[in-house]
Amino acid sequence: MSTLKVSTISPLGTDATKTITLGASGDTINLGSGGTITNAPAFMYRRGSNFALTQNATTQINFDTKVLDSDNTYNTSTGRFSPGDGKGGYYSFIAGIQSSANPTAAFHCGIQLRDENDNGVSSGFGMDPYLDFQSQFSVVNHKIYYVPDNYTVRVIAFVSTSGAEATHRTFFGGYRLIGV
């Protein structure tokens, strides 16, 4: 066994993929004590207060209270996540909406991928039945998307009940997947 000691490893200037490969398929690479691999960017935001949902319409929810944001990738003004230059890849997203009113018919939480021209690439909605949670009603959605550098991801809601609000327990988060 040999030891290689360096300060920096960089890809070749001619390597368009900017990829550094360690080992081959089936090899195991061990990190020494204290070694880490970071799956950043990672973020989690929530609502700081209730937010009115429009009856029988899709409403974008902006999150204004940061729980964590490793790379400042979520924009509270636009309500969108964007991975940033060179950080495109597969991401795992989760969003949950708690409503202050009983959504007696339709109540959906969507995580929508949008392209560089702000066109919806995905509907964002899944199978989201409403759940009774201590007289509050909640839906949760999880999506895995491939997100190019210049795409954005947002949370949308649809509710058929008038007077519904997304409460302060409404949240949106995600992180980059490693090894996908």
Domain layout of the chain by residue ranges: 42-176
Q: What is the pLDDT of residues 81-108, one digit of tens each?
A: 999 888 999 999 999 988 877 656 677 8
Tell me what pLDDT residue 126 has.
Answer: 59
Structure tokens at 25: 């398929």
Q: Is the pLDDT of residue 158 over 50?
A: yes
Q: What is the pLDDT of residues 20-54, one digit of tens each?
A: 777 777 777 777 777 667 678 999 999 999 998 88
Please tell us whether the domain made up of 42-176 is placed in CATH 2.60.120.40: yes
End-to-end Cα spacing for the chain: 29
Q: Tell me which amino acid residue 180 is.
A: V
Decide which of 14 and 74 is more confident.
74
Burial class, 7, CB count within 10 angstroms (exposed 0-12 / middle 13-18 / buried 19+)? exposed
pTM, rounded to two decimals: 0.76
Q: How far apart are CA 73 and CA 78, in angstroms?
A: 11
